[in-house]
Amino acid sequence: MRTFLVLLVAVGILCGWFILQRNNREREEHYWISELKSHLKGMQMDPTSTQPEARESSLFKLAIFLHEAEAAKVDIPKVVEEYGTAEGMDEAVWGMIRDAIQTDMDTLKGFAIFDEPSNLMKLERGEAPVIPAGPWKGQKLAVAQIVSGLLAPEAAQSLPNLVIVPTIVRDAWSEVVTGSTVDIAYNLQRNHFMSKESLERVIAARAH
């Protein structure tokens, strides 16, 4: 009888431990999803702003959040999927967000931005990090719009419409609409990041 009671207590403790671990995982997942949502919402600012620094601040803050999530062994694609599902997004929509995030992180890692402590502090403040080595050494990074916000203001701060590049590249970025720009605009419109009216403006700009 005593052995049975000991076994019963042990099973109860083990079950309690598993339940606690599951609850902790659920709370952690909820935290990361909530934080991602907060950062993405924070990117929706005045799309007509002419100040590039104001546009890019929120993206740099998102980048340091993602870096911290990776350090915590968080499955970022899964978090993006759960965020998108919770927001009622189609897979194609959150898939574009996931791919944009991966591209941005690959760019930052390629420039070794996260290897420099001073850059981590800059990202925390939403400031442009500085490339620490290589042919672009000393150049700040900036955010460029693939499709100009003048043509598609509602897509001006949409993650899939933004790309991180050295400042000198952003400053030389041409707003001439190419065939590639139109293709991207079609994809943005198809997945609800851009209105039909804006797509028509992009197509018209290409025609000229």
pLDDT, tens only, 114-125: 999 999 999 999
13 within domain boundaries:
no
Packing angle of the helix pair 76-86, 2-42 (nearest 10 deg)? 80
Residue 185 token pair: 């605009």
- If one compares 207 and 199, the residue with the highest pLDDT of the two is 199
Q: Is residue 53 part of a domain?
A: yes
Asked if residue 8 is part of any domain, the answer here is: no
Task: Tell me the residue type at 145.
Answer: Q
Q: State the Cα angle at 49 between 45 and 55, rounded to 5°.
A: 60
Q: At residue 21, what are phi and psi to the nearest 5 degrees?
A: -60, -40
With residue 113 as reference, give the H or E element that holds it: none
The torsion angle over the Cα atoms of residues 156, 159, 160 and 166, rounded to 10 degrees, is 90
Mean pLDDT of 75-104: 92
Whether 41 shows a pLDDT value over 60: the answer reads yes
Helix (H) or strand (E) holding 141, with range, is strand 141-145
- Judge whether 167 and 141 are in contact, CB under 8 Å: yes
For residue 98, what are the contacts with CB-CB under 8 A and spacing of at least 6? Answer: 76, 77, 80, 81
Model pLDDT, residue 19: 46
Name the more confident of 176 and 98: 98
Residue 12 resides in a domain: no
18 pLDDT band, cuts 50/70/90, is very low
Count Cα atoms within 13 angstroms, Cβ side, for 2. 0
User: What is d(CA 134, CA 115) in angstroms, rounded to the nearest whole number?
Assistant: 13
pLDDT digits (tens, 9 = 90+) for 143-167: 999 999 899 999 988 899 999 999 9
Instruction: Give pLDDT, residue 2.
Output: 55
Is residue 107 in a domain?
Answer: yes
Instruction: Report yes or no on 10 lying in a domain.
Output: no
Q: Which amino acid is at 56?
A: E
* Domain extent at residue 148: 19-207
| pLDDT score of 4 more than 50 | no
Read off the pLDDT of residues 136-147 as tens digits, 9 standing for 90 and up: 999 999 999 999
Number of structural domains in the chain: 1
14: in domain:
no
Distance (Å, rounded) from C-alpha 165 to C-alpha 143? 6
Helix, strand and coil in the chain, % to nearest 5: 65, 5, 30
In a domain, 78, yes or no: yes
